[in-house]
């Protein structure tokens, strides 16, 4: 599979002899012509249930990049689900990301098909290790299938459904439909009105006349039975074709859950390949990966020098800070000092928004020496080196990047007198409620945020606060998993509102 390592691979035990084996996705090279035929057959109907393991060679770089691109997409879907977005709202948010991450963007090309197919199987390896990860992966991949299915034309939808050959799926004939027409129409009339927006009775009757119905065991669509959305008779549910997506989604999630368990059983065989395990561990442990690869281009842009030691205290700049950064500034102002983790978190955040090392030294010097709390000599002796070190100018000269939310949450919780960390995790409900009220959130909005905190969904809680306080336009939502991303997005929205160039 990996072009640069074929000799090394061939010396190892071939654990992909059985093509049905879950681990077969790691080894097995075919010719390009065979690959093209495979993916042409798989994507003949635009969508896939991923029944056949991918084939062909890819590089280690492709292995990681493809997985990360798909993971970012899944994270955004997860964020939308947690914020109770409707299917149509999620589609509006996700569709532009297909182009951004170059996945599902042009499924007519061999390269895009291969990337889409491989990325799914790579993430299977990452998220098969625990029931929690498996359930999360199945839920989000199923939602992705729903979104992509809805984007197909009705002709392509019908073609895809027919290709599945689901044993439980059978269309009733016109005679049976006529016999049950009254009951069937009464059952779906409400959905025709509110789901398909057919307000006129004549429109609904015409739609019903042309609609086909699927007859299947009722347990296959049990959630529709509970909501009285299907007609039941003799243990069978009669499902209108426009609701067939529920059946397809259930079938897909069931199969994917089974495949993830099989993948987990074969996972120990991968221990022989020391190239993959670190990548897989990184991906599965970093389920809240930030878009850290864009720091150099997206963050730290300070061409007009508006970010300096004085301006970072100003209302014009500080209004864009996330709650975690506001808390650090509060602690620094109150004590003219921050302890180690707080200094690290704030120094790197300010570095990320464009504060130069000289301005950073001035910022910390002024804060620490204010009110004669510290002498310049002591500051230079005990703190100057560490600040320069954070900018890669001392020691091993590593160019440290600002902490993302995952890094912040991995640090020890703050003790008394410390201000680092994440307020959504570290503050109690009373303190968080008080602060969110000052930010203008309503009681219902605060309850919504606290609910995410209780579920340990801290980045989602922060994302909700961002959206509630910034009136984010439809289709421009973004999962916030980095304090610097919060800051940059906030400034971009303000500039856009003012008609300034972003």
DSSP 154-207: HHHHHHHHHHH--TT-EEPPHHHHHHTHHHHHHHHHHHHHHTS---SHHHHHHH
Query: Which of 219, 243, 267 is the endpoint of a domain?
Result: 243
Q: Give the tens place of pLDDT for each residue, 327-336.
A: 999 999 999 9
- Where does 348-474 show beta strands of DSSP type E? none
Is residue 450 in a domain? yes
453 is in an annotated binding site: no
Q: Answer yes or no: do 474 and 360 share one domain.
A: yes
Q: What domain range includes position 342? A: 309-496
CA angle 209, 212, 213 (to 5 degrees): 120
pLDDT at 273: 64
In this structure, the number of other CB atoms found within 10 A of the CB of residue 68 comes to 21
What mean pLDDT, rounded, does the chain reach?
A: 83
Q: Are 116 and 64 in contact (CB under 8 A)?
A: no
| Start-to-end C-alpha separation, the chain | 42
Report the 10 Å Cβ neighbour count for 167. Answer: 7
Residue 10, domain member (yes or no)? no
Looking at the predicted structure, is the pLDDT value of residue 160 above 50? yes
| Residue range 240-257, pLDDT digits in tens | 877 788 778 888 999 999
Structure token digits, residue 445:
């909005």
Per the CB < 8 A criterion, the answer to whether 253 and 223 are in contact is no
Pairing of strands 236-240, 231-233: antiparallel
Is residue 453 located within the same domain as residue 396? yes
Two tokens, residue 239? 């499902």
* Count of all residues that appear for the chain in the document: 502
- Alpha carbons within 13 A on the beta-carbon side of 87: 13
12 lies in some domain: no
Mean pLDDT of 346-375: 95
Q: Which of 194-198, 301-305, 327-331, 496-500 has the highest mean pLDDT?
A: 327-331
Do residues 57 and 3 make contact, with C-beta atoms less than 8 angstroms apart? Answer: yes
Q: Return the percentage of the chain with pLDDT > 90, whole number.
A: 40
Considering the domain architecture, whether residues 238 and 276 belong to the same structural domain is answered as no
- Residues in contact with 355: Cβ distance below 8 Å, sequence separation at least 6, in sequence order: 302, 307, 308, 309, 312, 363
Same domain, 466 and 419: yes
Q: What is the pLDDT of residue 308?
A: 95
348 φ/ψ angles, rounded to the nearest 5 degrees:
-70, -35
Whether the pTM exceeds 0.85: the reply is no
- Highest mean pLDDT among 43-57, 358-372, 391-405, 459-473 belongs to 358-372
Residues 156, 168, single domain; the answer is no
Residue 318 tokens read as: 């500080």
Residues 452 and 382 in one domain: yes
In a domain, 99, yes or no: yes
502, part of any domain = no
pLDDT at site 25: 39
CATH of the domain at 132: 1.20.930.80
Same domain, yes or no: 53 and 152: yes
Whether 300 maps to a domain, the answer reads no
Mean pLDDT of 413-433: 96
Domain count, the chain: 3
170 lies in the same domain as 157? no
pLDDT at 30: 47
In terms of domains, do 89 and 128 share one? yes
Do 278 and 195 sit in the same domain of this protein? no
The answer, yes or no, to whether residue 170 has pLDDT greater than 90, is: no
- Residue 237's pLDDT band (boundaries 50, 70, 90)? confident
Residue 5 in any domain: the answer is no
Q: Does 299 fall in a domain?
A: no
In terms of domains, do 226 and 155 share one? no
- 326 and 445 together in one domain: yes
Residue 403 has pLDDT above 80, yes or no: yes
Res. 28: pLDDT tops 60: no
> Per the annotation, does 128 bind a ligand?
no
- 118-142: pLDDT as tens digits: 999 999 998 898 888 899 899 999 9
Last residue of a domain, one of 263, 290, 317: 290
């Amino acid at each position: 599979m990996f072009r640069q390592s074929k000799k090394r691979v061939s010396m190892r035990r071939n654990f992909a002899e059985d093509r049905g084996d879950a681990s077969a996705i790691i080894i097995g090279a075919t010719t390009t012509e065979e690959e093209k035929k495979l993916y042409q057959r798989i994507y003949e109907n635009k969508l896939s249930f991923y029944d056949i393991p991918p084939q062909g060679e890819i590089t280690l770089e492709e292995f990681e990049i493809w997985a990360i691109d798909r993971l970012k997409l899944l994270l955004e879907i997860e964020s939308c689900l947690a914020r109770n977005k409707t299917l149509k709202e999620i589609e509006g948010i996700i569709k532009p990301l297909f182009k951004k991450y170059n996945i599902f963007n042009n499924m007519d090309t061999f390269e895009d098909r291969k990337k889409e197919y491989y990325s799914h199987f790579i993430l299977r390896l990452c998220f098969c290790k625990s029931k929690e990860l498996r359930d999360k992966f199945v839920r989000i991949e199923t939602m992705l299938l729903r979104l992509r299915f809805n984007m197909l034309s009705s002709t392509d939808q019908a073609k895809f459904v027919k290709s599945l050959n689901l044993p439980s799926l059978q269309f009733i004939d016109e005679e049976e439909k006529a016999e049950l027409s009254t009951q069937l129409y009464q059952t779906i009339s409400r959905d025709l009105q509110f789901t398909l927006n057919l307000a006129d009775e004549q429109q609904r009757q015409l739609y019903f006349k042309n609609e086909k119905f699927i007859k299947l065991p009722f347990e296959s669509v049990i959630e529709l039975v509970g909501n009285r959305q299907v007609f039941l008779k003799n243990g069978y549910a009669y499902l209108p074709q426009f609701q067939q997506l529920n059946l397809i989604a259930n079938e897909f999630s069931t199969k994917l859950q089974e495949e993830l368990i099989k993948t987990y059983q074969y996972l120990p065989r991968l221990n022989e390949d020391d190239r993959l395990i670190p990548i897989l561990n990184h991906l599965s442990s970093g389920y809240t990966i930030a878009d850290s690869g864009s720091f150099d281009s997206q963050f730290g842009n300070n061409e007009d020098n508006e970010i300096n030691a004085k301006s970072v205290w100003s209302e014009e700049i500080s209004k864009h800070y996330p709650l975690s950064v506001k808390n650090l500034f509060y602690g620094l102002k109150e004590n003219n000092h921050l302890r180690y983790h707080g200094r690290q978190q704030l120094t790197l955040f300010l570095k990320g928004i464009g504060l130069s090392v000289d301005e950073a030294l001035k910022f910390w010097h002024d804060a620490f020496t204010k009110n004669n709390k510290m002498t310049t000599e002591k500051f230079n002796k005990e703190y100057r080196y560490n600040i320069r070190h954070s900018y890669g100018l001392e020691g091993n000269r590593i160019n440290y990047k600002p902490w993302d939310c995952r890094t912040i949450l991995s640090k020890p919780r703050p003790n008394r007198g410390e201000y680092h960390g994440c307020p959504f995790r570290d503050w109690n409900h009373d303190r968080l409620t008080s602060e969110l009220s000052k930010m203008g959130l309503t009681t219902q909005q605060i309850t919504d945020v606290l609910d995410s905190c209780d579920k340990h969904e801290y980045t989602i809680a922060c994302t909700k606060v961002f959206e509630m306080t910034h009136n984010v336009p439809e289709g421009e939502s973004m999962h916030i998993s980095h304090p610097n991303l919060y800051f940059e997005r906030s400034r971009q929205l303000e500039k856009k509102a003012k008609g300034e160039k972003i």
